[in-house]
A and B are shown apart, each in its own frame.
Chain A
Amino acid sequence: MYGANVGVLLQVLWAQLLLGWARASELTFELPDNAKQCFYEEITIGTKCTLEFQVVTGGHYDVDCRLEDPEGTVLYKEMKKQYDSFTFTAAKNGSYKFCFSNEFSTFTHKTVYFDFQVGEDPPLFPSENRVTALTQMESACVSIHEALKSVIDYQTHFRLREAQGRSRAEDLNTRVAFWSIGEAVILLIVSIGQVVLLRSFFSDRKTTTTRVGS
């Protein structure tokens, strides 16, 4: 009885050990102009990883991205990309580095979203003590879970694209407001200035003619 409990406990601990190596990190951060931001992650050999990034706001909505393995070999390098997804299997143990660079931009800040998935998602419950295959209900649950995960993923990307569109619209709104006021002011100044200038032409000629006459 006691031995069986310890056995179960050990299995749970082992499952948790595996769970520790499967992570998904998604972050949104602001990248100032002429700046580079690097992130690192410790990955074990043989793990399948996915890096996905999208530029949310700023300038032409593009950023440079670079992914290096522990020895410095460049696995992925793209310049001025708006959105991309890169999957790779870790060939070495160690600390992988990926960087986003906005060094080509002079004055636009960029907001970048990235999602770095390491390994597969851990199972909900340890299935080591399972002798039979999943029941129909359980396999249906698993497939629904996978479908919902992709729904959430699509929602995230849709939300980011909507944020992009909305920030462009808000920019346009403020620009139209400033431009219309500025243009009205310029118009008034220019038209009054024209009249004043024209008057000054005729006043000068009048004085010269009178002087010549006398």
Chain B
Amino acid sequence: MEAVRTMKLCGLSVLLLNVFFSLTSALYFHIGETEKKCFIEEIPDETMVIGNYRTQLYDKQREEYMPATPGLGMFVEVKDPDDKVIMSRQYGSEGRFTFTSHTPGEHQICLHSNSSKFALFAGGMLRVHLDIQVGEHATNYAEIAAKDKLTELQLRVRQLMEQVDQIQKEQDYQRYREERFRQTSESTNQRVLWWSIVQTLILVVIGFWQMKHLKSFFEAKKLV
């Protein structure tokens, strides 16, 4: 009983801390008011992608970035390889978005702020902390360990299984891409072949026509 309660406490605290840290120590960049920043993720199908972002607005009076601004939101738009929008949602100044790919290929994740009041930005930029985890990196092992009550060895094996799964999916995706590449190359080859045949035919036909036409022209002018 005591051990179970400890495990549950551990799991919960680990989960909370994970969430806390995933939002504080991430890569950040600056974005303008109407600017749209897009990131490309090339992933195989049935792959989960988790994105965490946090925004900070520049406070001109204190000349530093404020921790959080209420009312400031970000639009997150995700497009699949066929340019179809699979997710388009607005989140607050801090958000977490998840999607699973159903077609392999280049997915585009675009972020832009929903602010229409130019005064809000006050000539500064918006600082966006972003963290995108794909596939195996998206799984939270501490959570799985707490939920399924796995020992250390079992957790390690589970991690290895996830990694191998990801490798296998990537390999399948690679095979699909190689096929597309081969199709493109074969189409180029065919096009070059056809073009050279057609061009030779055109040249020969034009040559004949020119000579025949000129001959009849000169005969009519009584020069030949």
Contacts and interface: CB of A to CB of B under 8 A. Distances in A.
B14 interface: yes
A177 B166 CA distance: 38
A176 B184 CA distance: 12
A170 B223 contact: no
A65 to B, nearest CB: 15
Nearest to B196: A180
Contacts of A166: 177, 180-181, 184
A40 B38 CA distance: 17
A9 B9 contact: yes
Given A173-B184, A187-B199, A198-B214, A40 B167 contact: no
Contacts of A184: 195, 198-199, 202
Contacts of A29: 37-40
Given A12-B13, A16-B21, A202 B221 contact: yes
A4 B20 CA distance: 25
A204 to B, nearest CB: 12
A111 B40 contact: yes
A111 B174 CA distance: 19
Given A21-B25, A141-B157, A183 B14 contact: no
B17 A16 contact: yes
A9 B11 CA distance: 9
Given A12-B13, A159-B174, A170-B184, A141 B2 contact: no
Nearest to B21: A20
Nearest to A25: B27
B217 A202 contact: yes
Nearest to B132: A27
Contacts of B142: 16
Main secondary structure of the interface of A (DSSP, over half): helix
Nearest to B7: A8
Contacts of B116: none
A128 B153 CA distance: 16
Contacts of B141: 124
Contact of B202 (A125, A142, A187, A199): A187
A148 interface: yes
Contact of A172 (B39, B159, B188): B188
A180 B191 contact: yes
Contacts of B14: 12, 16
A68 to B, nearest CB: 14
A134 to B, nearest CB: 9
A167 B207 CA distance: 39
A25 B191 CA distance: 42
A19 B185 contact: no
Contact of A155 (B24, B167, B181, B192): B167
Interface stretch (A71-79, A85-93, A188-196): A188-196
B174 A162 contact: yes
B13 A148 contact: no
A16 to B, nearest CB: 4
Nearest to B151: A125
Contacts of A120: none
Interface of A: 1, 5, 8-9, 12-13, 16-17, 19-21, 23-25, 27-30, 37-42, 111, 116, 124-125, 135, 137-138, 141-142, 144-145, 148-149, 151-152, 155, 158-159, 162-163, 165-166, 169-170, 172-173, 176-177, 180, 183-184, 187-188, 191, 194-195, 198-199, 202, 206
Given A152-B166, A176-B191, A184-B199, 6 more contacts: A19-B17, A29-B38, A135-B153, A159-B42, A159-B173, A176-B192
5 contacts: A16-B18, A42-B25, A144-B160, A162-B181, A187-B202
